[in-house]
Amino acid sequence: MKKTLIALAAVAATGAAFAQSTVTLSGVLDVGVKNVNQVKPGAATTSVGSGNNNRLAFSVSEDLGGGMKAIANAQMRFDPTTGTPEAAAARPLFQGETRVGLTGGFGTVMLGRGLTPLQAPNGGNSDPFGVSTVAGSVYAAGFATDYAAGGEGRIDQAVWYTAPSFGGVTVSGSFSPRKLVAAGSAATADSGGVQGTNAVTAITSTKTHMSLNALYANGPLVAALGYEQNRVGDKITQVYGNYDLGVAKLFASYATVKGGTAADRAGVTFAAASSAVNTGSSTSQVAADGKIKNWTVGAVVPMGALSIRGGYSQWNGNGAAGQKDDNKLGLGVKYDLSKRTYVYSDVASQTRKNNSFNADNSKSNTKVTSFDVGVAHSF
């Protein structure tokens, strides 16, 4: 009996040593000075803020044997100038991601909250600015993955699957069941004590979320096609990618967004802005039953430690009420001081149309000029 216990203890000790987790801490700090010529009445035109999303990320990996690993990711997002969660604390503290799952020869399965398969690889592959700084392009204009606070590009209570890459092609998808959303008026008492006769009128059922993305990456070419539906029936289809010529990397993206019906949106609170134009943009989503077209072209020209970046994008809501029309030209320079630290400066000119109904006039029909200069460090 004693020998058996010793043997079991040895096996347990070996298993514990084998199954140790590796935890990696990483992050980005990016702060700059920004000037925008048109802001909300009473707000300063010059501000100190972030050029990129500042974050602190925890990544966990545990070898389970047989080629399978347990993985988990948690990513905090914050405003480095105030020390508070980003967007004036309107978003969750762990805005970036909170997911756990398994990976192996079968692919990768994860559960929790995070960027969708369409949104996760999109920015860095479709926009020369990586959807950062004042020059960042119009990005999947008018579409919000989830209208809950912090839902720009992210979905909660979801399941992800990424298939093993084959011939440079990676296919991934995410799914999240619909939610029951409280309507504007309170539930009334059931009539005659019969359960459900009236109370059910105070809630409305939204749609399920689904996102699919196929990405090809081989040599100098990256090309992808994605489709996504959010919980109120808005749908986006996007094709995007880039090609590295050596002397320059060229970027392009084209997307169409179709709005869900008014019935789909009944009782839904639109707490999140659309993932739209980076600076001075409208925050309205695509109109019910509306349609928006968006395209972006750009390039990065490397010159040693210096990179010149440029991009032009257009968001066409066809002049429909509640759908904004924007076009934006951005130019910038990025200088690498090391592998982890760089300085940057950008200028952008954005023309906004069909914005005149904004009550505070902060997003009226006008041309907005923006400028920034900042420093970024990743670790």
Asked, for residue 299, whether it belongs to a domain, the answer is yes
Higher pLDDT, 78 or 320: 78
For residue 308, list its beta bridge partners: 301, 333
Structure tokens at 233: 């029936």
Asked, for residue 318, whether it belongs to a domain, the answer is yes
| Contacts (Cβ under 8 Å, ≥6 apart) of 12 | none
Q: Give 95's Cβ-side CA count (13 Å radius).
A: 24
Domain extent, residue 311, equals 113-378
Asked, for residue 229, whether it belongs to a domain, the answer is yes
What is the predicted pLDDT for the residue at 201?
38
The total domain count for the chain is: 1
- Please tell me the chain's helix, strand, coil percentages from 3-state DSSP, rounded to the nearest 5: 10, 50, 40
Q: How confident is the model at residue 1 (pLDDT cuts 50, 70, 90)?
A: very low
Top-ranked range on mean pLDDT: pick from 100-109, 116-125, 253-262: 100-109
Please tell me the distance from the alpha carbon of residue 87 to that of residue 85, in angstroms, as a whole number: 7
Asked, for residue 305, whether it belongs to a domain, the answer is yes
CATH number at residue 304: 2.40.160.10
214-241 as b/e, with b when 16 or more CB fall inside 10 Å? bbebeeeebbbebbbbbbbbbbbebebb
Q: pLDDT digit string (tens) for 54-72?
A: 999 999 999 999 999 999 9
Sign for the pseudo-dihedral over CA of 37, 38, 39, 40: positive
Q: pLDDT digit string (tens) for 278-305?
A: 444 444 567 788 888 889 999 999 999 9
Top-ranked range on mean pLDDT: pick from 10-24, 201-215, 263-277: 201-215
Per cent of the chain over pLDDT 90 is 50
Contact by Cβ (8 Å): 213, 197:
no
Per the rule left: phi > 0, alpha: psi between -120 and 50, beta: everything else, 88 is left
Higher pLDDT, 51 or 299: 299
Q: pLDDT digit string (tens) for 338-369?
A: 999 999 999 999 887 765 544 554 555 678 89
Angstrom CA distances, 137 to 173, 251, 296, stand at: 25, 11, 7
Mean pLDDT check: name the lowest of 51-55, 161-165, 192-196. 192-196
In 3D space, the residue among 176, 109, 185, 126 whose CA is nearest the CA of residue 147 turns out to be 176
Asked, for residue 342, whether it belongs to a domain, the answer is yes
Please tell me the distance from the alpha carbon of residue 254 to that of residue 70, in angstroms, as a whole number: 36
Q: pLDDT digit string (tens) for 238-250?
A: 999 999 999 999 9
Contact by Cβ (8 Å): 188, 200:
no
Asked, for residue 250, whether it belongs to a domain, the answer is yes
For residue 62, list its beta bridge partners: 21, 70
Asked, for residue 169, whether it belongs to a domain, the answer is yes
The pLDDT of 216-226, averaged and rounded, is 97
In 3D space, the residue among 158, 150, 142, 323 whose CA is nearest the CA of residue 235 turns out to be 142
pLDDT at 185 over 90: no
Asked, for residue 189, whether it belongs to a domain, the answer is yes
